[in-house]
């Protein structure tokens, strides 16, 4: 079945440093979604990318979808304490059995910020 791998598992940064998490799929994706989950909280949808090579920005967050639609990245510039949490990617394919959205979630990257 489809696999979505996410690295690193943990990332420690000093406040103000940049952070990047990477997502790689074993199969070509139709779309990729990113979520943030604060400690003890629930996942919150951030964005969906659909097009090959697509880049989207949300303030200090930059999301990229690879040209082959098999990988994606999330980059945070100048991290703040409010960025603490786990960032998940979820790759979508129409026939993966992952529900109406065909989503397979990565295991997430835990972002830990040291003030």
Partner 1 sequence: NAGVTQTPKFQVLKTGQSMTLQCAQDMNHEYMSWYRQDPGMGLRLIHYSVGAGITDQGEVPNGYNVSRSTTEDFPLRLLSAAPSQTSVYFCASRRSRTVEQFFGPGTRLTVL
Q: Note the residues at the interface with partner 1 (CB under 8 A).
A: 4, 6, 9, 31, 33, 41-45, 48, 88, 90, 97-101, 103-108
Kindly tell me which of 23 and 76 has the beta carbon lying closer to partner 1: 23
> What minimum distance in Å lies between the beta carbon of 83 and partner 1?
19
CB of 105 to partner 1, least distance (A): 3
48 or 77: whose CB is closer to partner 1? 48
Residue with tokens 């603490």: 84
Instruction: Give the residue among 21, 45, 32 at the shortest CA–CA distance from 108.
Output: 21
DSSP category for residue 38: -
Structure tokens at 19: 């952070």
Closer of 99 and 115 to partner 1 (Cβ): 99
Which residues, in sequence order, are CB contacts of 40 under 8 Å at separation 6+? none
CB of 103 to partner 1, least distance (A): 7
- Closest contact distance (angstroms) between CB of 3 and partner 1 is 11
Rounded to whole angstroms, the Cα distance separating 70 from 85 reads: 24
Q: How far apart are CA 25 and CA 71, in angstroms?
A: 6
């Amino acid at each position: 079945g489809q696999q979505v791998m996410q690295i690193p598992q943990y990332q420690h940064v000093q406040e103000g440093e940049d952070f990047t998490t990477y997502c790689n799929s074993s199969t070509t994706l139709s779309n990729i979604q990113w979520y943030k989950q604060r400690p003890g909280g629930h996942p919150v949808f951030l964005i969906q990318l659909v097009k090959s090579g697509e880049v989207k920005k949300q303030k200090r967050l930059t999301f990229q979808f690879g040209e082959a639609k098999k990988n994606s990245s999330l980059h945070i510039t100048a991290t703040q304490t409010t960025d603490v949490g786990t960032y998940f990617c979820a790759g979508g394919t129409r026939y993966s059995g992952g529900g109406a959205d065909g989503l397979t979630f990565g295991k997430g990257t835990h972002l830990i910020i040291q003030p």
